[in-house]
Structure 1
Amino acid sequence: MSQDTISVRDIARQLPGVVRRAPAIAKGLYYYSLKNDQKDLTLGTLIEHNAEKYGSRPAVLYDNRRLTYTEFNAWANRIAHYLRAGGLGRGDSIAIFLENRPELLAMVAGAAKIGVACAMLNTSQKGKVLAHSINLITPQMIVVGEELVDAFEGVRDEVALGHDHPYLFMPDTDSLHDFGQTPEGYINLAEQVSHYRGDNLTVKDRPRLGDTAVYIYTSGTTGLPKAAPGSHRKFIKAYGGFGLMTLNMGPQDVLYCTLPLYHATALLVCWGSVLSGGSAIAVRRKFSASAFWSDIRRYGATTFGYVGELCRYLLNQPASPDDRNHTLTKMIGNGLRSSIWKPFKERFGIETVAELYASSEGNIGFSNFFNMENTVGFSTAPYALVKYHEGTRDPIRNAKGRMEKVKSGEPGLLLGEITAKWSFEGYTQKEATEKSILRDVFKKGDAWFNTGDVLKEIGCRHLQFVDRMGDTFRWKGENVSTTEVENIIDESGLAEEAIVYGVEIPGTNGKAGMVTLVPQDSSVESFDIDRLFRYLQDNLPPYAIPVFVRVTSAIEKTGTFKYKKVDLKKAGYSVDRPGERVYAWLPREKGYTLVDEALVKRIDGGEIPF
């Protein structure tokens, strides 16, 4: 754990840079602090403003495609015209099932113009999890990319949609005028949209700042994915807080984004920041460490969106004389570990690390406004760090029933106070929303959002991330719900009992998934590990498939029948427990491998590139 501290003197050293950004900070503060939910300021109006002010500047870059703000706005308008002609309007929703490509951004922008919210489906999902996510929203329509038709067809009969013609097909081509081959039962959206005008719409029932613009799916801490509504306000806060106040984005900037656009970091934070400066977003379908720097040079990118895992991959690439031969100076994201923070900046010549802390559903966010080292920054929102029960996300209440704040420098559970200004949008499920709210925390009648994360103060109200608590762990930049994975395994018919948790692997970010299970109808030795792997592949996204499997004849419990998860976490993937077998899903392998002591040593030694 890092022992970094931030002093007043450290802050003072950054003040000249703050003064230079003063005009952008003042403008950003205005947008960040907007309170009127009925204000006519939305994602759609931001794009229309940029089309008017920066019309000939690039808005979206993708492979060999270059769309100016004028072109992108016209495309979004044609989509909006089509959706309105289909009877959709303010308060309706559609589901988006597209990989990272310009069509996704155009769909979100077009829908936003008429007040239609987009449910941003995780493109790694399949089977029961995908069907569940769609049915949480009951959208009018679903836009399915050509690259994901097979995945959707697997659940098509299990989802409820509200329109007479709900299945919209988006071809995966290099041209807006190439409509591809439409699958049976679908409407070719690209072809249909091409018939509509590209002028800005006149909308009687215009969307407002407080309306839902997108639904972002989060694992939460228990069960299947939850859908968190994200209002236009969240785009505006990113626009002002990150784009203007922190990054000071301008028309000359290009932000390179390989993070999945169904995530809030990419869609809200990165794209919102781009819109603030009339900048361009360069999108890549999936991250590639080997292609990263050539892409940066190709697009002339000045900024990129990251998660800590991505940075570690780049740092692990062989050093090159071209490591500083690029235009990149800024980065925005989360999860950059203290151990690689300075090495990454120094090797690649990065000046600004806009590390942040936020959640899709939460009411609290932190930003590294002063460009300090090893911190998520500070927040103007009211928050508290309180004492908690180790190994859970449950705060401790004292004899009077109130919670207690930790001392400065001590890890504490982060809570965000829920007020009129700092509202909690929560989830589409009221029960899940209420479960995340703590009441009568410091006084009778107050309400606070429980983030489930442990952070600590390192000086001048700057926080440092410590750990994610409870039944969620983070792997490959994704939050994984242990309960979700356990439920999927329970339905396999292969396990009598299964408990899922995260374990640390040396040299990696986050925690790798591990399951300890008791076979249903077989012994430890005869358990069909290959059958389990095939089942997990069919029902879970790759990042949620357990990296390790421990097969045992019994799982130890406490006297109150609770699993001793702490003991299992301590054991990790060791093979010194008699009568048990441990398997590992090694990189580039198509199944699990039996773990022995030699393999444990290789993993512990960092020889295997998870």
Structure 2
Amino acid sequence: MIRLGYRWLKRIQKNPPITILDIFLEKVQKHPEKPLILFQEEVYSYRDIDRWSSQVARVLQSHVGMKEGETVAVFLKNVPAYIWVFMGMEKIGCTMACINYNIRSKSLLHVLSSCEAKVVLTTPDFQAVIEDVLPTLNHEGVRVFYLSDDSPTAGVEALLGRIKSSSAEPLPVSFRAHITSKSTSLYIFTSGTTGLPKAAIITHSKVLQAINIFRLCGVHSNDIIYIPLPLYHGAALSGVVSCIDIGATFVLPPKFSVTKYWDDCRKYHVTVVQYIGEIMRYVCNAPKKDNDHKHSVRIAVGNGLRGEVWKEFLNRFGPIHFYEMYGATEGNAGFVNYTGKVGAVGRTNFFHKKLINFELIQYDIEKDEPVRDKKGCEPGLLVTKITKNAPFEGYAGDLQKTEKKILRDVLKKGDCYFNSGDLLMQDREGFIYFQDRVGDTFRWKGENVATTEVETTLAGVSFIQEVNVYGVPVPGHEGKIGMAAMRLKEGLPFDGKKLYDHAKDYLPNYAIPRFIRIREALEITGTFKQCKGHLVKEGFDPAIINDPLYFLDDSEKCYVPMTQEIFSSITEKKLKL
């Protein structure tokens, strides 16, 4: 860590600073024909990505009119274009906003506005989504382009033909002359603790910190890395830039598929896999096969892996070394469990504490705030000190939400700490364990769900007076699943079909509440915040809840009355969620 930290400091202190683009171009010179991306039956070498990125950079600059410092939003699935667009924007000093392709309508308009995107690059796969918001984008001066040969949408130009015919010669450094280590390289969107998605500012300096992940885990240039996470995800992009830094090759599946997981690993001779806990649970739940042990995977790098899934994975698939990590997209510090202790996200000691300045402070979940006393702090909520070398860059265009993540005067007057919003625990041996999230966010299907965003969306249904959204734990599943307690408008009945249609139209699948609880009144705190604690504890068991309960039944395309039979099927893992 000390060696990598020193290397990072040297790079960002240069004038101009070393960026991920410089590292990429260095690898292009070193081994131009080496594969960088393996995508289905296609192979893209370092030189291929370099040439494509130069071509798209020229088109964005000369035809589209992008200038250094401006933002291009990328609304794409997992395709190689994601990487050459990223490198292309680096070549002309533009910022790439990585948009979650599951979001729709108001949420999509919000994220594009928050990062001040001038242009959206997408494909005809999202024709309906784009056409839904296109009038508003046109009004706001945001232009949309398809990375395809033809456009099915009036007013949206297809750029791929122009890109293919443009020059692939290197671009002059003068095109990115004003880039510093503090310039924004990426916007990665996080649900955070409240409201609509927030654009976390990822500077060039922070990208250079992210590239150390695989080096810390013993990954080398001969490895083939499997990255099945969506590329709008901070972890996936960290994996990509880390792969570039060590000069390795990565496999990019179009999306995660449990049935193709090990087949892909064998086909491409994968030696390192990147994961989130939910992926490993799916893999463990797949039917057992005789060849489960037949693969080349030696290392797994990721986060959110539950202890029991970890043990089951090792028993079933063999001695793979897991490097479980902890970190937040916008955070200023993290942990790596380099010892492989099952369930831990890291380990601290005297030297580690000197390198990463963090505290675990007592937290009042009911009041949703840290507890302060004369001693200062108690274990619980992870906070990390904000310093020159560990800054918190905050969120684009949202000073209020940036300030909300900063705790001041924690240990002594004048200090500043980043509030992670996560509860962690440390044992006597110094191992650190993730416990839970606090505030108005829960995690499901590997995604953060902001309850206030879901509440705002559901409030648009005609028969709902008030709604309170929260996550409830489900046996055998990672994270928490969405549940909504609601008060109906006087005289109006609950309409399960209407609510189902509205939720499907306006929310990504992972954010749609699976359970509905009808209440006569919704409790609030003295500061008018929705009370969630006791609702979370009561869960969705019809045997202990007297209120009417409903369950989202995809086969019926409707919310249906919750029965003890449905409850048993879920708890016994017979019914898939």
Q: Which range, TM-score by smaller chain?
A: over 0.9
Deviation at 1:159, TM superposition (A): 3.1
- Mark the CA change 1:98 to 1:578 in structure 2 (over 3 Å): closer, same or farther: closer
User: How many residues matched?
Assistant: 566
Change (3 A) 1:477 1:588: farther
Task: Give, as a single letter, the amino acid of the residue that structure 1 aligns with 2:201.
Answer: P
> Quick one: structure 1 residues 601 and 443, their matched pair in 2 at CA, closer, same or farther if it must change by over 3 Å?
same
Question: Which whole-Å CA distance do the structure 2 matches of 1:353 and 1:190 have between them?
Answer: 40
| Residue 570 of structure 1, aligned match among 531, 537, 559 | 537
Residues of 1 paired with 2:257 and 2:50: CA distance?
Answer: 29
Distance 1:579-1:312 versus aligned 2 partners, 3 A rule: closer
**Residue number among 213, 221, 224 corresponding to 1:254 in the alignment:** 224
Shift of 1:352: 1.9
**1:511-563, CA deviations, whole angstroms, 9 ceiling, x for partnerless residues?**
0010010112545xx31111011111111111000011112332345677654
Query: What does 1:243-392 correspond to in 2, within 5 Å?
Result: 243-250=214-221, 252-267=222-237, 269-378=238-347, 380-391=355-366
Task: For residues 50-99 of structure 1, give each alpha carbon's deviation from its aligned partner in whole angstroms, at most 9, with x where no partner exists.
Answer: 11112111011111110010111111111112222143232111111001
Per-residue CA shift, 1:287-335, capped at 9, x if unaligned?
A: 1111111111112111122111110111011211111111111111110
The aligned runs of 1:99-114 (5 Å cut-off) are 99-114=77-92
What do the CA deviations read for 1:377-431 (whole angstroms, capped 9, x no partner)?
A: 2463211001111345411112x5x73133xxxxx10001001110001101111
Secondary structure of the corresponding residue to residue 483 of structure 1: helix
Distance 2:490 2:7 in 1: 60
Are residues 1:417 and 2:385 paired? Answer: yes
Say whether residues 1:61 and 2:31 are aligned partners: no
Aligned pairs for 1:483-494 (under 5 A) are 483-494=452-463
Q: Distance in 1 between matches of 2:357 and 2:209?
A: 16
| Amino acid corresponding to residue 231 of structure 1 in structure 2 | T
Aligned CA RMSD, in angstroms, stands at 2.2
1:507 to 476, 495, 502: 476
Select 2:119's aligned residue among 141, 147, 150: 141
Gaps of at least 5 residues in structure 1 are 1-24, 172-178, 407-411
Matched, 1:217 2:189: yes
d(CA) in 2 for partners of 1:563, 1:146: 41
Distance 2:549 2:209 in 1: 47
**8 Å CA contact retained: 2:358, 2:383:** yes
* Alignment check: 8 A CA contact 2:552 2:559 kept: yes
Higher relative CO (Cα under 8 Å, sequence separation at least 6) belongs to 1
3-state secondary structure, aligned to 2:435: strand
Change (3 A) 1:558 1:92: closer
> What amino acid sits opposite 1:191 in the alignment?
G
Paired residue type of 2:118:
Q
1:276 Cα deviation (Å)?
2.1
Pairing partner for 2:19 from 18, 37, 42: 42
Q: Which moved more, 1:457-466 or 1:355-364?
A: 457-466
- Residues 535 and 311 of structure 1, relative CA distance in 2, 3 Å threshold: same
Rate the CA distance shift 1:332–1:138 in 2: closer, same or farther, 3 A.
same
Q: 1:559 to 1:194 in 2, by over 3 A?
A: closer
Which string of whole-angstrom CA distances, capped at 9 and with x for unpartnered residues, describes residues 248-298 of structure 1?
231x2121122111010111x211221122111211122111111111111
Please, which moves more after superposition, 545-554 or 455-464? Answer: 455-464
TM-superposed CA distance for 1:235, in Å, is: 2.3
Conservation of the 8 A alpha-carbon contact between 1:37 and 1:210 = no
8 A contact 1:328–1:350 mirrored in 2: no
Shift of 1:572: 1.1
- 3-state SS, counterpart of residue 363 of structure 2: coil
The answer (yes or no) to whether the contact 1:393–1:453 under 8 Å persists in 2 is no
Cα separation, 2, equivalents of 1:504 and 1:255: 32
What SS class does the counterpart of residue 312 from structure 1 fall into?
helix
CA contact (8 A) 1:28 1:239 kept: no
Question: Whole-Å Cα distance in 2 between the matches of residues 563 and 181 of structure 1?
Answer: 46
Partner SS state of residue 211, structure 2: helix
| Alignment pair present for 1:482 and 2:482 | no
Instruction: Measure how far apart 1:460 and its partner are.
Output: 5.3
Q: TM-score, normalised by structure 1?
A: 0.88
Distance in 2, matches of 1:36 and 1:291, equals 44
Judge conservation of contact 2:137–2:143 (CA < 8 Å) in 1.
no
| Higher mean C-alpha displacement, 528-537 vs 187-196 | 187-196
Do residues 531 (structure 1) and 501 (structure 2) align?
Answer: no
Stretches of structure 2 that go unaligned for 5 or more consecutive residues are none
Of 133, 141, 144, 1:167 maps to 144
Matched, 1:405 2:378: yes
Q: Encode CA deviations 1:170-191: one digit per residue, 9 max, x unaligned.
A: 12xxxxxxx2445321222211
Q: CA deviation at 1:195?
A: 2.1
Amino acid at match of 1:334: N
Correspondence 1:91 to 2:63: no
Q: Is the 8 A contact 1:43 1:113 kept in 2?
A: no
Residue aligning to 1:119: 97
Once structures 1 and 2 are overlaid, which stretch shifts more, 217-226 or 154-163? 154-163
Partner of residue 451, structure 1? 420
Question: Structure 1 CA distance, aligned partners of 2:310 and 2:143?
Answer: 47
Residue type of the partner of 1:395? P
DSSP-derived class of the 2:534 partner: helix
2:106 match = 128
Deviations 1:325-347 (A, max 9, x none): 11111111110001111221232
* Contact 2:337–2:345 (Cα < 8 Å) also in 1: yes
8 Å contact kept, 1:37–1:208:
no
Q: Contact 1:80–1:111 (CA<8 Å) still a contact in 2?
A: yes
Query: What is the CA–CA distance in structure 1 between the aligned matches of 2:479 and 2:430, rounded to whole Å?
Result: 25
Partner Cα separation in structure 2 for residue 566 and residue 477 of structure 1: 22
User: Displacement, 1:458?
Assistant: 2.8
Looking at structure 1, the residues matched to 408 and 561 of structure 2 have their Cα atoms a distance apart, in angstroms, of 48
Match of 1:71 among 14, 24, 48: 48
Q: Cα 1:162–1:494, aligned 2, differ >3 Å: closer, same or farther?
A: closer
Aligned residue type for 1:202: P
Q: CA deviation at 1:350?
A: 4.4
> Structure 2 vs 1, CA of residues 26 and 443 (structure 1 numbering), >3 Å: closer, same or farther?
closer
Identity, % of aligned pairs? 33
In 2 relative to 1, CA 166–233 (structure 1 residues): closer, same or farther, beyond 3 Å? same
1:82 equivalent in alignment to 2:55: no
Report the equivalent of 1:599.
Answer: 566
CA distance in 2, matches of 1:522, 1:295: 55
Choose from 128, 132, 145 the match for 1:150. 128
Alpha-carbon distance in structure 2 between the residues aligned to 1:149 and 1:471? 32
C-alpha displacement of 1:112: 1.2
Residue 161 of structure 1, CA deviation: 8.2
C-alpha displacement of 1:238: 2.0
Contact 1:249-1:273 at 8 Å conserved across structures: no
8 Å contact from structure 1 (residues 332, 353) kept in 2: yes
